[in-house]
């Protein structure tokens, strides 16, 4: 429902007459509608036994690289599909397709995030009975994707070492809503002043339940631990379905 708050404006009025300003909170209505649809998506996925992960990060942090490494380790255990979100281009979808994995590309045309209606349109193009595990590669952005529920069972984010350890201070909501944090490109640690212990401390003060993984998609370090977490989450999810 749209919220309308009346305010009285005294300036610019003639005599004792008062004009009314009607404030319509469009953002609240949009988020409410999105949440309702996201809940419907979750219900549909549960009915089909499909676990969906929403993977978020800033541009260039390594989302596609992590997805490719994850696919290579899990594709013999799960039927995997990927929903790719990009403002433009098919570059990431082509990388996924080369791994032999079905991908649906969502071209947002300027939108800086994926939301429930976009995910619903992607799922409509997929046979849910053909999948166990779907990965959403959200648009590269640490702000908007954190606000919009996609209907995913779990949310994860990537922070790469070159981005710096202060991002949790600048974008706290993203770190607050995620179930897992993947710190990528740890092979760069020796070349930077990135303080890994300080980052973990800040994140855990904000989100006590978050699981943290340190990985390098280039060397493969830490990817197995990340995949083990996914296995546990998928197994627990399917037991609840």
β-strands 51-57, 19-24: how paired? unpaired
Residue range 25-64, pLDDT digits in tens? 656 666 788 999 999 999 999 999 999 999 999 999 999 9
pTM of the predicted protein model: 0.86
- Examine the pLDDT at 140 and tell me if it is beyond 60: yes
- Enumerate the domain spans of the chain: 49-240
Average pLDDT, integer, range 71-100: 90
Q: What is the CATH class of 49-240? A: alpha beta
Q: Judging by DSSP bridges, how do beta strands 19-24 and 154-160 pair with one another?
A: unpaired
pLDDT digit string, tens, across residues 155-171? 999 999 999 999 999 99
Q: What is the chain's mean pLDDT, rounded?
A: 89
CA 79 – CA 232 distance, rounded (Å):
16
Q: pLDDT tens digits, residue range 193-212?
A: 999 999 999 999 999 999 99
Taking the CA of residue 139 as centre, how many other CA atoms within 13 Å lie in the half-sphere pointing to its CB? 24
Q: Name the packing angle between helices 63-74 and 223-240 (round to 10°).
A: 70
pLDDT at residue 23, as a whole number = 55
């Amino acid at each position: 429902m749209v919220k309308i708050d009346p305010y009285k404006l005294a300036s610019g009025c003639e005599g004792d007459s008062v004009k009314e300003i009607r404030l319509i909170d469009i953002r609240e209505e949009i988020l409410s509608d999105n949440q309702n649809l996201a809940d419907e998506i979750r219900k549909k996925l549960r009915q089909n036994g499909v676990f969906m992960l929403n993977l978020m990060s800033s541009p260039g942090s390594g989302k596609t690289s992590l997805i490719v490494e994850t696919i290579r380790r899990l594709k013999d255990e799960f039927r995997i599909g990927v929903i790719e979100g990009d403002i433009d281009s098919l570059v990431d979808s082509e990388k996924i397709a080369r791994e032999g994995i079905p991908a649906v590309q969502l071209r947002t045309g300027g939108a800086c995030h994926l939301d429930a209606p976009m995910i619903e349109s992607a799922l409509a193009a997929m046979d849910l009975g053909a999948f166990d595990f779907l990965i959403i590669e959200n648009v590269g952005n640490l702000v908007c994707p954190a606000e919009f529920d996609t209907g995913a069972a779990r949310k994860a984010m990537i922070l790469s070492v070159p981005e710096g350890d202060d991002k949790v201070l600048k974008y706290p909501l993203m770190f607050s809503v995620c179930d897992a944090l993947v710190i990528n490109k740890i092979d760069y640690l020796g070349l930077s002043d990135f303080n890994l212990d300080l980052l973990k401390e800040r994140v855990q003060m904000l989100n006590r339940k978050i699981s943290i993984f340190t990985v390098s998609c280039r060397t493969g370090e830490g990817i197995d631990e990340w995949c083990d977490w996914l296995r546990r989450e998928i197994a627990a999810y399917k037991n609840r379905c």
